Amino acid sequence: MRHYDAIVIGTSQGGLTALTTLLSKLPKPLKRPVFIVQHRHPDSDETLLYLLNKVTPLNVVEAEDKAAIEPGNIYVAPANYHLLIESPDKMSLSVDERINYSRPSIDVLFESAADVFQSGVVGIILTGANSDGSQGIEKIKKLGGLTMVQDPKTAESAEMPQAAIKTKAVDHVLTLEGIARVLAKL
């Protein structure tokens, strides 16, 4: 079985439902870090973290600038900040311009994770209403990582999964339960 060093997940409209379903099925202990970009309002509070921590025994925390990456933690990009992976053991935050009208941007996270972890990253696109994440999925696949997308038929908003599928850089199109099963086998 191939080894993966990190999991990156991107979602937008309908993401809370998708994330709670997916995270509730992840195994504990989780041996690798998980990074999440959920598009949300720039003034969002910590409600997302609170709700995600209720559905998983894993540690869900807000990503912090220059913080060390701990295996088994789930890092959520803060509202209005891009989340980047700087090295295998450090992340950073940025207020650079919006990408695809979004900050945080899924593409920013995915592309930086691909640069750092190369073939050791798993990229997952869930429900959402734009094309953010498609370029990042392409880069992850190009560098040898594993790519998965929520089946658009099961997504609250199918545009983001469909845009990723159109890149032809997706290894698996699965239900949320199917994605969780693949992650559990990793």
Give the residue numbers marked as catalytic.
12, 39, 132
Neighbours of 27 (CB within 10 A): 13
Residues 165, 169: Cα–Cα separation, whole Å: 7
Stretch (H or E) spanning 41: none
Contacts of residue 142, Cβ cutoff 8 Å, sequence gap at least 6: 114, 169
Alpha-helical regions (H) of 24-119: 47-55, 106-117
Contacts of residue 149, Cβ cutoff 8 Å, sequence gap at least 6: 124, 125, 126, 137, 161, 164, 165, 170, 172, 173, 174
Candidates 90, 110, 113, 92; CA nearest to 102 is: 110
Half-sphere exposure of 167 (CA within 13 A, CB side): 26
